[in-house]
Structure 1
Amino acid sequence: MNPQPVTTVRLTPAAARTVATELRTADHATETGGILLGHHSADVVTIHHAGTPGPAAVRTPTYFLRDRAHAQMLADQAFAADGSVWIGEWHTHPTGRPIPSARDTATYQQLLGDPELGFTSVVALTLAPRDGQWTGTAWVAHDRGVATAALELLKPHPRNEATGRLH
């Protein structure tokens, strides 16, 4: 059974903190990012964990490639913690807008086309600086292309906070 198309992406406080910390500490001249791990239910994806780039990540002003071994370790930890699975990725565009580039779109389509991964959609958060602050947009890639999704930041709640953040 295929899940419904994603219309809303919810980001837990723990995942938001990981992204915010990376944005504060990263070299803003190059792209950075990480994997997104969570659950897909009906037309909503909840991101419980956001990863960091990892020590072997490739970062240039216009390109980011996560450290695959680091991402796998984070995915294993998240699955063991709460059953979260890989649902997508987040990354920055330090000199652009928070929209997927042609390279980003091609990457999402490649992930969708890999039967071993089993993606029916790929969630992406793209962040870019605007007026001295980072602004982000949620995107969902599926077999019909790439579309925006509503992005909601969940409020802290003891049950939501039980899932720790991953680095």
Structure 2
Amino acid sequence: MITTELRTADHTNETGGILLGHHTRDAVTVRHAGTPGPAAVRTPTYFLRDLAHAQTLADKAFTTDRSVWVGEWHTHPTGRPAPSARDTATYRQLLDDTELGFHSIVSLIFAYQEGRWTGTAWTFHRQRVTPVELTVSRMGGPM
């Protein structure tokens, strides 16, 4: 889903979606990546996913394999594939929301540089933001 969205997206506006999977003691496995959804807000410096679309994907993933919300992916049409101040503030708000129950959040950020997308994975914990190793394996078709 992410590669399709990157290939077809308007490179001048941010896009993204939710990441669904499983937390283990030392790793997060992402099983499903959502698209922005038809009601998403996309600007050059801001992306807000379609909440109803994200909830439908989350419900389907939970029914399929018990996947839960583990993070998000999004693009930066300019700049680097690193968290912006807005990204960091958003993830801190999610971590502080006790109803959500996050102990960490995974973020995949892609930047459009020199005619191609490059990406970096990040993990957000209460007190730190860390780039993390990303291992990609294709385990099935899109949701």
Length-normalised TM-score, structure 1 = 0.83
Partner of 1:134: 117
Residue among 27, 37, 51 paired with 1:54? 37
What is the CA distance between 1:165 and its match in structure 2?
1.9
Q: 1:48 Cα deviation (Å)?
A: 0.6
1:165 aligns with 142
- AA aligned opposite 1:121: S
- 2:23 aligned counterpart, secondary structure: strand
RMSD between aligned residues = 0.9
**Segments of 4+ in structure 1 off by > 4 A?**
none
Question: Which shifted more, 139-148 or 67-76?
Answer: 139-148
Relative contact order (alpha carbons < 8 A, sep ≥ 6): 1 or 2 greater? 1
Which position in structure 1 is the counterpart of 2:68?
A: 85
* Contact kept in structure 1, 2:11 and 2:112, CA below 8 Å: no
Paired residue type of 1:65: L
Q: How many Å separate the matches in 2 of 1:108 and 1:132?
A: 28
Aligned to 2:17: 34
**C-alpha separation in 2, matches of 1:43 and 1:131:** 34
Identity score, percent: 67
Unmatched segments (≥5 aa) in structure 1: 1-17
> CA–CA distance in 2 between the matches of 1:28 and 1:131?
12
Structure 2 letter corresponding to 1:136: G
SS in 1 for 2:123: strand
Unpaired runs of at least 5, structure 2: none
Deviations 1:129-148 (Å, cap 9, x if unpaired)? 22322111001111112111
Report the counterpart of residue 67 of structure 1 in structure 2: 50
- CA distance in 2 between counterparts of 1:150 and 1:43 reads 12
Deviation per CA, 1:81-129, whole angstroms, max 9, x where unpaired? Answer: 1111000000000011000000000000000000110000010000002
In structure 1, give the amino acid aligned to 2:41. V
